[in-house]
């Protein structure tokens, strides 16, 4: 829990600096690149989470990967390395993206499904979300086969879990409690 709060604090600080320097869009693109790169590389995730690999090695690797990033992004990498919080980089990048979208009046809805969303289903979800919120909403789809089917929708602080796995767990709890 405290890691999540720390990531949020770093994200807010980076966003404030990026807005002040009029570089929020460029830094947001850097943060999206960071999320995509870390999510796409098991080796990079393992290296960042490994306490045996020293911070300087992690910093050098990240600077090599994200060398063309904005100075604010490079400063974030240096700061969290010095503060021994490098494992939070992915979460900071995610939170930055959400905060920047919120600041621009654009919401991000995270939809977790067992299979990727089709364009038709994505349009239907967007229509429903537009009824719920006044903000312009974009959808980020995460595939998690462990939910079996259905979906989990998270927008801001609200979460709706209509997954098959959740329904099965509820049935299991009800069955266990009735014994």
Domain extent listing, the chain: 2-101, 106-178
| Residues 2-101, CATH architecture | Orthogonal Bundle (1.10)
Q: Can you point out the beta strands (E) in 35-177?
A: 106-113, 136-143, 150-155, 158-163
Which 3 state secondary structure label does DSSP give 135? coil
Q: For position 2, what pLDDT does the model report?
A: 58
**Closest of 39, 147, 153, 73 to residue 107, by C-alpha:** 153
Decide if pLDDT at 135 tops 80.
no
Sheet with 106-113, side-by-side order of all strands: 136-143, 106-113, 150-155, 158-163
Mean pLDDT of the chain: 90
**8 A C-beta contact, residue 105 and residue 91:** no
Question: For the residues 45-53, what does the mean pLDDT come to?
Answer: 90
Question: For the residues 2-22, what does the mean pLDDT come to?
Answer: 91
Question: For the residues 16-31, what does the mean pLDDT come to?
Answer: 95
Question: For the residues 112-133, what does the mean pLDDT come to?
Answer: 89
Decide if pLDDT at 1 tops 70.
no
pLDDT tens digits, one per residue of 63-79: 999 989 999 999 999 99
Helix, strand, coil abundance in the chain, percent, nearest 5: 65, 15, 20
Which 3 state secondary structure label does DSSP give 62? helix
Locate tokens 């621009």: which residue?
A: 104
Q: For position 133, what pLDDT does the model report?
A: 79
Which 3 state secondary structure label does DSSP give 54? coil
Give the span between the Cα atoms of 59 and 72, in whole angstroms: 15
Total-model pTM? 0.67
pLDDT tens digits, one per residue of 142-158: 889 999 999 999 887 78
**% residues pLDDT > 70 (the chain):** 99
pLDDT tens digits, one per residue of 68-111: 999 999 999 999 999 999 989 999 999 999 899 888 877 788 89
């Amino acid at each position: 829990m405290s890691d999540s709060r720390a990531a949020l604090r770093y994200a807010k600080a980076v966003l404030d600096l990026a807005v002040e320097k009029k570089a929020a869009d460029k830094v947001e693109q850097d943060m999206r690149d960071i999320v995509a790169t870390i999510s796409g590389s098991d080796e990079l995730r393992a290296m960042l989470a490994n306490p045996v690999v020293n911070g300087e090695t992690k910093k050098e690797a990240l600077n090599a990967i994200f060398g063309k990033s904005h100075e604010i992004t490079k400063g974030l990498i240096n700061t969290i390395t010095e503060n021994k919080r490098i494992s939070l980089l992915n979460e900071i990048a995610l939170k930055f993206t959400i905060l920047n979208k919120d600041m621009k009046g654009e919401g991000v809805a995270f939809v977790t499904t067992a299979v990727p969303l089709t364009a038709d289903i994505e349009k239907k979800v967007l229509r429903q979300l537009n009824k719920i919120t006044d903000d312009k909403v974009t959808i980020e789809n995460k595939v998690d086969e462990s939910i079996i089917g259905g979906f989990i929708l998270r927008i801001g602080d609200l979460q709706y879990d209509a997954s098959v796995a959740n329904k099965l767990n509820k049935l299991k709890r009800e069955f266990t409690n009735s014994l």
